[in-house]
Amino acid sequence: MPEAGALIIKVGTLDDPSVYGGPQMVRTRSRIGPRPRRRAADEAVRPAVTPHIVFLLSPAHLGGERARLVFHPDARFELAERLRSPAGAPLAAVFAFLSGLYFRGKITYAEAFGRPPPGLSGGLVISPGAGLRFPHEPVTLERLAEWSKVPIDASNPRFTRPLVEHAAALDEAHGATTRFVLLGSVATDKYVEPLTKVFGDRLLFPPDFIGRGDMSRGALLLRAARARCELAYVPVVGARRHGPRAPGVAETRRVRSRPAEPQRDPTERADQRDARPEVVILVGLPGAGKTTFFGQRLAATHVHVSKDRFPNNRRPAHRQAELIEEALAAHRSVVVDNTNVTVAERAPILSQARAHGARVVGFVFDCTTRECVARNAARAGPARIPNVGIFAAAKRFSRPVEEEGFDELYVVRPLPGPAFEVRRA
């Protein structure tokens, strides 16, 4: 029986629906504040090490461009439709879509290095207004809308009260044998202040975060997880929380020395490089040569998906998602051959690929509007489109970056022949 007035964590598993409401509470007494010093006799019977580690993940921003895509009433990509269903979508998948590289880095790192007590996961997600949540807890669009109205601020009790209550319960149940590491910004007090009320100097964070922005922290975590090299942690209390700007993802990539080894063909068979299926996204104006490039380089190894193949379908994006799903479910690599010129067009494809654990490779076609118009004029029949389609795509063009969630990006330059020159972006 729990002591009168204690907050305890209900033990269960992530597959148990009873724990999907976040860490489950039995309300008796709330003990908020750093754990009191124990007597020597108490210390003698407690383990001298902390075998468990749980990461506390900061949430995704619910007011950005990707959030607007999710909340749009006409959104038809798979994640948006799942959020509108009664079953909802996994919280981690939703936040990974909304936040891109940063949250993907956090959840990947937590899964790689988390050592949770029984009944918990290696990472718990800080939510706006609902305390700590399990990453695989299903959420609906209605719940996201509620959270979007809660400012994440240390002075806002709607945010801090449930967070402090859940953290106190977590500490009461597992604090003696568990380290708690914040994977989120420590530059402000929005997470630090409420969490240090509970954990005190036992709240840790990676000092490598200092001076880095969101994308740089996400890339850092992904690299650490892939290399199986866990970062160091220090207590937040008393630590230097601000510093000079650390090298970002792009800057690190520019100064990193490359080994002297032969350049591999980026279009070689995916299974020669990685056991995972591969999603290739072709990005370029109409007439840039995307379909020709597919036929020359990828047709033997990848399924071809293009909206051009079903022009009379009333829901081409939905049909495209179905075909991608079929290919990935069969563990087959797939090429998405559309213009894909905006972040909004690429985002649902990236999200679907990540849901299957697939690698995502982008090929960006370096072909000017004038060149595409000339190439289009040389075509005949249905392959030739009105030039206004080329101009419209050029006006909307947003160059893809790895921070969107690409594993690799390449630039393709059409050459006479037809032939193509491919280089790393």
Write the pLDDT tens digit of every residue in 373-397. 998 898 888 778 899 999 999 999 9
Give the homologous superfamily in CATH for domain 270-424.
P-loop containing nucleotide triphosphate hydrolases (3.40.50.300)
Residue 253's pLDDT is what? 42
> What pTM, to 2 d.p., does this model score?
0.58
Q: Could you read off the pLDDT of 316-326 as tens digits, one per residue?
A: 888 999 999 99
| HEC sequence for the chain | CCCCCCCEECCCCCCCHHHCCCCCEECCCCCCCCCCCCCHHHHHCCCCCCCEEEEEECCCCCCCHHHHHHHCCCCCCHHHHHHHCCCCEEHHHHHHHHHCHHHHHHHHHHHHHCECCCCCCCEEEECCCCCEECCCCEECHHHHHHHHCCCCCCCCHHHHHHHHHHHHHHHHHHCCCEEEEEECCCCCHHHHHHHHHHHHHHEEECHHHCCCCHHHHHHHHHHHHHCCCCCCCEECCCCCCCCCCCCCHHHHHHHCCCCCCCCCCCCCCHHHCCCCCEEEEEECCCCCCHHHHHHHHCCCCCEEECHHHCCCCCCHHHHHHHHHHHHHHCCCCEEEECCCCCHHHHHHHHHHHHHCCCEEEEEEECCCHHHHHHHHHCCCHHHCCCHHHHHHHHHHCCCCCHHHCCCEEEEEEEECCCEEEEEEC
What residues in the chain have per-residue pLDDT under 70? 1-50, 242-275
Residue 267's pLDDT is what? 58
Residue 365's pLDDT is what? 95
Residue 255's pLDDT is what? 36
Residue spans per domain, the chain? 8-251, 270-424
Residue 238's pLDDT is what? 84
Q: Could you read off the pLDDT of 228-281 as tens digits, one per residue?
A: 899 999 999 888 876 665 555 444 443 333 343 444 556 554 444 456 889 999
Residue 32's pLDDT is what? 46
